[in-house]
Amino acid sequence: MTIDTSALIAPHGGRLVDLVVPPEKREAALRHAEALPRLALTARQLADLECLATGVYSPLDGFMGELDYRRVLDEMRLADGTLWPIPVVFDVDEANLTGIGDAAEIALSWEGRVIATLRITERYEVDKPLEASAVYGVDDAEHPGVAAVRELGDVYLAGPVRLIEPELHGSFDSYRYTPAQSRAEFARRGWRKVAAFQTRNPIHRAHEYLQKVALETVDGLFVHPLVGQTKSDDIPDDLRIRTYEVILERYYPQDRIVLGVFPAAMRYAGPREALKHAIARQNYGCSHFIVGRDHAGVGNYYGTYDAQRIFETLGPEDLRIIPLPFENAAYCTRCAQMATRKTCPHPEDDWLQLSGSKVRAMLREGVRPPVEFTRPEVADLLMQGVRRVG
């Protein structure tokens, strides 16, 4: 039975892209792909491929050509003027170029099996310093996003992709909604206004506060943690998912939440990545997007609220999803509750504030995060998980 999703927000650019080969055509598509020159995907390329093929990156239908690439760097626009903040590109090095020669189409493999094809419409050289400065605001090798750009191959291949094997992972399958599937789920529940929450960390009390304030104004909440490539010192994704399951089961209304996983690779691009995350969640069917402090930031490269201010530079035609900006939230010992500067009169000396890096350091040292920072069940899992990893 087809579920009517027309009451939900339109996808970015007006249509939801679907580049997955239909089941009845996969055998023939695989035979065709097996005869093509082959390149092995990196983890970042795999994440981008999945996002392109399933419509997460609508309206993109493949890896960007040079006109799109240059305008995205200069203006955060595709060549046709559509808002797009970060390049989605396919890099190759000299050895790979030699291997594929002048092929017009190549097969893409993951863990030794062919899963997709790329029809090459263009090859162009990377401007790594320009890309780093435009996307990340700095050309500093200490920035993980800049370091990743510097490690890319020197040539980008552009062109449309087709995903032949959509079963890429075997992990978090019950939470791996495509945009079409999340839209169907929201419509089945009768939701029209849906707030999305992006995270790459376990949910702590400040997150919970923001989510529940947002829930007061919308029909449902889409908790949507990123499970693509992240920094090596981030909490492992399997442990994070377990913390989400526990806290959502015990402290949230089950009829008003959906837990999904976001397959994108983390760029740590601060304001520009906040826009990219919002665009993706619009494609998933969300009408609102929670933007907290230092969204997608790393270190001290971005201002606390830069990721919120970038939305203020857009026109109403640029992005339909509505940002929900929140002040920094923390537990106030004098108020004895979660608060922000908008609701609490007390000095920050009375606030318990712990960054993700501080919490990771506490866990490595065997120090249990306090109940004012995170729920006991989450603290238990984190302590067990760090012991397991260590």
Mind giving me the DSSP string for 300-324? Answer: TSS-TTHHHHGGGGS-TTT--SEEE
pLDDT score recorded for residue 390? 47
pLDDT score recorded for residue 388? 54
**31 a catalytic residue:** no
From the CB of residue 169, how many other CB atoms can be counted at a distance below 10 Å?
14
pTM of the full predicted structure? 0.94
Confidence of residue 37 (pLDDT cuts 50, 70, 90): very high
- Locate the domains of the chain by residue range: 12-163, 174-389
**201 a catalytic residue:** yes
Going by C-alpha positions, the residue among 94, 91, 93 that lies closest to residue 118 is: 91
Q: Return the SS3 of 148.
A: helix
From the CB of residue 81, how many other CB atoms can be counted at a distance below 10 Å?
11
Catalytic residue among 162, 201, 240, 281: 201
Name the token pair of 238: 């399997």
The predicted-structure confidence for 84-115, as pLDDT tens digits, reads as follows 999 999 999 999 999 999 999 999 999 999 99
Catalytic residue among 70, 176, 200, 375: 200
Decide if pLDDT at 235 tops 80. Answer: no
Average pLDDT, the chain: 93
Confidence of residue 287 (pLDDT cuts 50, 70, 90): very high
Strands 337-339 and 330-332, by their bridges, are antiparallel
pLDDT score recorded for residue 311? 97
Write down the architecture of domain 174-389 according to CATH: 3-Layer(aba) Sandwich (3.40)
From the CB of residue 371, how many other CB atoms can be counted at a distance below 10 Å?
13
pLDDT score recorded for residue 1? 64
Give the containing element (helix H, strand E) for 389.
Answer: helix 376-389
Q: 386 or 125: which carries more pLDDT confidence? A: 125
Lowest pLDDT segment from 48-57, 185-194, 237-246: 237-246
Decide if pLDDT at 161 tops 90. Answer: yes
Q: Do domains 12-163 and 174-389 have the same CATH topology?
A: no
Which percentage of the chain shows pLDDT scores above 70? 97
* CATH number of the structural domain 12-163: 3.10.400.10
